[in-house]
Amino acid sequence: VTNGGKTTLAEKLKKLLPNCDIISQDDFFKPESEVETDERGFKLYDVLDALYMDEMVKSIRNWMKSPASSGIVTEELQNTCDNLKNTEDVYILIVEGFLLYNYEPLNELWNRRYFLTLPYEECKRRRSTRVYQPADTPGYFDGHVWPMYLRYKNELEENASNVVYLDGTKSQEELLSCVYSDILQELKKLRE
């Protein structure tokens, strides 16, 4: 969901996890001139066609081929993670974005899936506090953003498995604790 805390959570996790990097879907938006406009004049940013998804897949695959050369500083983080001993050769890539699970070529790459949700009113309130370039036009949230979120969330629920849904109204600390604990369990399984 837009403004659900995806980037904040990813950045906080990166600080806690050794050998961790982030790829953000926001870095793959097409320029405004290449984004379609509907009959109401809304720029259609909340659809897969507004993104260079093939480039994103390529970036993820390149990272997977050589995570150690991705510029991650490991020693300093490793020393702060006593409970993550023996993970020096485990690399973690957090991919954050709003349409990740609806793009089939990505679905074979995930080890874990987290999906932040927000109720309509809270999402709209948070969205109204953000400044976008280009700016949201009047009616954009109700006319495009929220309907696309519902559409893609419904698709996800029909087609994807092993998704952990997270309540975006919980505090940042609660969300971080939940996901961090889950990742620690996954790392423990890898070591065993």
Query: Quick one: CA dihedral 36, 41, 42, 43, positive or negative?
Result: positive
SS (H, E, C) the chain: CCCCCHHHHHHHHHHHCCCEEEEEHHHHECCHHHCCECCCCCECCCCHHHECHHHHHHHHHHHHHCHHHCCCCCHHHHHCCHHHCCCCCCCEEEEECCCHHHCHHHHCCCCCEEEEECCHHHHHHHHHCCCCCCCCCCCHHHHHHHHHHHHHHHHHHHHCCCEEEEECCCCHHHHHHHHHHHHHHHHHHHHC
| Active-site residue identified among 26, 27, 142, 182 | 26
Reading the block at residue 110, the tokens are: 């995930």
Query: Is 26 known to be catalytic?
Result: yes
Q: Is 37 left (phi over 0), alpha (psi -120 to 50) or beta?
A: beta
The catalytic site residues sit at 26
